[in-house]
Chain A
Amino acid sequence: MRKHLEKAAKLARIALNEEEVPAIEQAFVGLMAHFEHLGTIEDLPEMKRKAVRLRTDETAVTDYQPDWEERETKDQALVIPRVMD
């Protein structure tokens, strides 16, 4: 269970502190029971699919300004922490 949790934390980019882990693990175990339960179901019907509506290709004129909430910008590009390639 711990391994699953750690892998999920890595993918979800969430830093876990040790104190939280037992509580999360406990709920995980309970929720996994749901998960396993589902595995025994066979012979399920296909789903009916609705159709998505499409939008006309036109640009809308707005005065929307992104609110970076006091983050720095350089020539309107957003400054973000260094990205390792």
Chain B
Amino acid sequence: MYEVVIGLEIHVELKTKSKLFCTCSTDFGAEPNSQVCPICLGMPGTLPQVNQEAVQLAIRAGGVFGCTIQPLSQFSRKNYMYPDLPKAYQITQYQEPICTDGGIEVLREGKKTMIRLERIHMEEDPGKLMHPDYEHFSLADYNRSGIPLIEIVTKPDLRSPEEAVSFLKALRTQLEFADISDCRMEQGSMRCDANISLREPGNQVLGTKVEIKNINSFKEVQKALEKEIKRQSDLLRFGEGDKIVQETRKWDAGKGRTVPMRSKEDAEDYRYFDDPDLPALILTQGQIQAAQEGIPSETALERRQRFMEEYDLSESEAVTLTEDAVLARLMDQAAGKASSPRKVANWILTEGLRLYRSGQGFRVNARALLALLKEIESGALSHSAAKQVFEYIWEQQGTVADAIETLGLKQMSDSSQLETLVAKIVADNPQAVAEIKSGNGKAFGFLMGAVMKETKGKANPKVAKELIEAELKK
């Protein structure tokens, strides 16, 4: 009924060893206030030192999304007082960001649609505050203070909550692919605020913009936007459109709706000005090129389509494999050298995904996967044995050959050994033999099962089948 207009502001933590302006570690999960120094605590007399790697990652991000990299950008101070901000200003880039323009493609009703970016700029993260329930105090942890971020701002080009989520997934994949960030919303390395407004279809003027904060996962992005759309469209429908005011609302996951944030009497005035402690960030073409080496040459959408065409995958299979940079990379590495990319995909999508969900990374690499497939193809491993090997390597790492050895799974293809065994089993099971001869095919399965059991799954099923048939003929 109403056209939905959505813009996103995404904060992404850059994958650097040290913070943006000091040499403190950026490791996640350390004891509170154990990764701090006079600089990121804003102690009097300290000054910022710009981390080169952070700049390079910001340039990379610009390259990945087709932005214009500005050869001159400037750090500015965003002044406000809050206990998580040690200097009472956040060093950011206001008037002259490092990247402008660019965009990410999504599919809108099957058509490629460009979602344009406004800018990407660098800034430092504030610390973290915690507000324990029922207490009269709050807690501050400054480990996060000074962590390098890029803020990615889209133009209001998104038209639905689903699209917003697709966009975010594409964004995340590309950032992971280019080794810019881990993008874990649950760990806070990727945060998203949304701006949304509604308008009559065909109306060129934007409706009243509402900002939504406190969204902590992709699912919540969709839910929060859907709920906000409902709230606003209900108000519009009942002629209460004037109740939609420009404000910031907090997404309350527990209550399943957005609530107004405490309104301040005067809007905060950030008094932006160029940081006098930091001269301009001036980049040469050489530096820009060097920073962009090795960035993915295709967009997320292009990769998805290539997977469908090159590897003969369905759309949903391609989506699953390309949404995650780890899986996509693995697929490309392995499928290129495999006789059947289809088989590679199957392994990743079934056994691989099952174990991957436990969240410790994908622990079988391309080499191992290819070796495994070779063993299966040559008949050395049965499918069930291969599954055992896969799991073993996942847990213990190491090579396929070692795993087979350790598990004693070398498939029995040696006919003579098997022949003897088959003969024995046939001899031991006259009842089954009789049933087969009288036309009951099921009993064949029973004999096969017995052979597999006797050989602990190591028998080559094809060979075993032939031998049993041959034996039965005797």
Residues of A within 8 A of B (CB): 7, 10-13, 49-60, 62, 64, 66, 73-85
Contact: B50 with A55, CB < 8 Å? yes
Contact: B54 with A83, CB < 8 Å? no
- The smallest beta-carbon distance between B201 and chain A, in angstroms, is 37
User: Which applies to chain A's interface (DSSP): helix, strand, loop or mixed?
Assistant: loop
CA distance A13 to B88 in the complex (A): 11
Contact: A78 with B266, CB < 8 Å? no
* Contact for B81 among A13, A53, A78, A82, CB less than 8 A: A13
Interface residues of B in 330-355 (CB under 8 A from A): none
- The smallest beta-carbon distance between B147 and chain A, in angstroms, is 13
Q: Which residues of B are found within 8 Å of A64, using beta-carbon distances?
A: 36-38
Q: Which residues of B are found within 8 Å of A53, using beta-carbon distances?
A: 50
Closest to A75 in B: B32
Contact: B139 with A57, CB < 8 Å? no
- The smallest beta-carbon distance between B130 and chain A, in angstroms, is 7
Contact: A76 with B280, CB < 8 Å? no
Interface residues contributed by chain B, number (CB under 8 Å) = 49
- The smallest beta-carbon distance between B88 and chain A, in angstroms, is 9
19 pairs from A and B in contact (CB 8 Å cutoff): A49-B72, A50-B279, A50-B280, A52-B278, A54-B51, A54-B55, A57-B18, A57-B53, A58-B23, A62-B37, A74-B139, A77-B139, A77-B140, A78-B139, A78-B141, A79-B139, A80-B139, A82-B131, A82-B137
CA distance A76 to B24 in the complex (A): 17
Contact: B18 with A51, CB < 8 Å? no
Contact: A58 with B137, CB < 8 Å? no
* Contact for B138 among A52, A54, A83, CB less than 8 A: A83
B246 at the interface (CB under 8 A from A): no
Q: Which residues of A are found within 8 Å of B32, using beta-carbon distances?
A: 75-78
Interface residues of B in 107-157 (CB under 8 A from A): 129-131, 135-142
Q: Which residues of A are found within 8 Å of B268, using beta-carbon distances?
A: 11
- Encode B20-52 as 1/0 by CB contact (under 8 A) with A: 000111000001111011100100000001111
B241 at the interface (CB under 8 A from A): no
Interface residues of B in 273-305 (CB under 8 A from A): 278-282
- Encode B58-86 as 1/0 by CB contact (under 8 A) with A: 00000000000000101100000101000
Shortest beta-carbon contacts, A-B, top 7: A57-B53, A54-B52, A60-B23, A51-B282, A77-B139, A77-B32, A49-B280
Closest to A67 in B: B43
Q: Which residues of B are found within 8 Å of A79, using beta-carbon distances?
A: 137-139
CA distance A85 to B133 in the complex (A): 13
Known: A51-B280, A57-B53, A64-B36. 4 other contacts (CB 8 A): A11-B269, A49-B279, A62-B37, A79-B138
Closest to A48 in B: B280
Q: Which residues of B are found within 8 Å of A13, using beta-carbon distances?
A: 81
Contact: A58 with B18, CB < 8 Å? yes
Q: Which residues of B are found within 8 Å of A60, using beta-carbon distances?
A: 18, 23
B271 at the interface (CB under 8 A from A): yes
Contact: A80 with B52, CB < 8 Å? no
CA distance A82 to B41 in the complex (A): 20
Contact: A80 with B83, CB < 8 Å? yes
Q: Which residues of B are found within 8 Å of A11, using beta-carbon distances?
A: 268-269, 271
Q: Which residues of A are found within 8 Å of B17, using beta-carbon distances?
A: 57-59
Q: Which residues of A are found within 8 Å of B401, using beta-carbon distances?
A: none
**Which residue among B25, B33, B41 has the maximum number of chain A CB atoms within 10 Å of its CB?**
B33
B16 at the interface (CB under 8 A from A): yes
Q: Which residues of A are found within 8 Å of B326, using beta-carbon distances?
A: none
CA distance A50 to B33 in the complex (A): 35
- The smallest beta-carbon distance between B212 and chain A, in angstroms, is 15
Contact: B31 with A76, CB < 8 Å? yes
Closest to B261 in A: A85
B262 at the interface (CB under 8 A from A): yes
- The smallest beta-carbon distance between B43 and chain A, in angstroms, is 9
CA distance A50 to B280 in the complex (A): 6
Q: A76-B33, A80-B83 are in contact. Are A55 and B138 (CB under 8 A)?
A: no
* Contact for B129 among A50, A74, A76, A83, CB less than 8 A: A83
Contact: A57 with B51, CB < 8 Å? yes
- The smallest beta-carbon distance between B106 and chain A, in angstroms, is 33
Q: Which residues of A are found within 8 Å of B33, using beta-carbon distances?
A: 66, 73, 76-78
Q: Which residues of B are found within 8 Å of A76, using beta-carbon distances?
A: 31-34, 141
- The smallest beta-carbon distance between A81 and chain B, in angstroms, is 7
